[in-house]
Amino acid sequence: MAMQAATPEPAAELRVAAFAPERSLPVAALLTLSGGFIDAFTWLSLGGVFASSQTGNVVFLGIDVLSGQWQSAAHHLLPFAVFLLGAWVAIRIQAPQRCLMAQIVCLAVVMLLLHRIPEPLAILGISFGVALQSASFRRVERWSYLSVTVTGNMLRAIDQFVSVTDRDASRGGGVMLVLCLMFLCGAAIGGLATTRLGAASLTVPIALSACALLWCRLNRTGHDHA
């Protein structure tokens, strides 16, 4: 009887993927720190709109629609729609490092033109760039996460800590708690930097994203994840 060619075990494939640089904890921590910072920046600088975490925009959109404040509703609807577009593009092209480079470009353009272009355009530019990044980087080691919000990561931490079937559950819970802390630190630093530096404070998330990109390039495996 002819022997069938051996195929990689799914568990082995998962272990290989978990150690890809795009899925490393340092990259996830840098991007989540940046996500908290950008939320604070857009809220303070761009009229109380979230360009990255869309939960707040959905809440304010519902309130504005029911109260008949259509102009304000549009202010929250546009970044939500552009975020969906950016996420769709990222998922279609499957090029994490290129999407991260595109986010850096979007943030840099907004920083340089913030006081020369209408505020809504700045919001849309940030929303599109952040969506490209967050839709491309959604796993840290073996676990799913989001770099633009904290609620989902908190729930994942609890899931891991109460799990009795995952041998790495404590590791997963710890990773999620680290990301929650990074988001909190990013928001705190973002609030302080924005009030003191204004548009120039966007150099911080640009630098964080650039560091994440550099980490990916310096720690590339044999697979091309870009």
8 Å CB contact between 23 and 139? yes
The pLDDT, as a whole number, for residue 18 is 53
Query: How far is 157 from 140, CA to CA, in rounded Å?
Result: 13
Residue 170 in domain: yes
- Can you state the angle between helices 169-197 and 25-45, rounded to 10 degrees? 40
Cα separation, 208 vs 31, whole angstroms? 7
Q: Is residue 85 part of a domain?
A: yes
* pLDDT digit string, tens, across residues 162-177: 876 777 888 989 999 9
pLDDT for the residue 59: 81
pTM of the model: 0.84
Structural domain contains residue 27: no
For the chain, counts of helices (H) and of strands (E): 9, 2
The answer as to whether 54 is a domain residue is yes
Residues of the chain with pLDDT under 50: 1-14, 16, 222-223, 225-226
The whole-angstrom separation of Cα 191 and Cα 182 is 14
Q: What is the pLDDT of residue 12?
A: 45
- In this structure, the number of other CB atoms found within 10 A of the CB of residue 170 comes to 12
Residue whose token pair is 């990561």: 153
Please check whether residue 2 lies inside any domain of the structure: no
The range of the structural domain enclosing residue 171 comes to: 34-218
For residue 147, count other CB atoms closer than 10 A to its CB.
31
Q: Is residue 5 part of a domain?
A: no
* pLDDT value for 1: 43
Is residue 15 domain-resident?
no
Q: pLDDT tens-digit profile of 51-73?
A: 777 777 778 778 878 887 777 77
Q: Is residue 4 part of a domain?
A: no
**Residue 35 in contact with residue 131, Cβ under 8 Å?**
no
Q: How many domains does the chain have?
A: 1
What is the predicted pLDDT for the residue at 222? 47
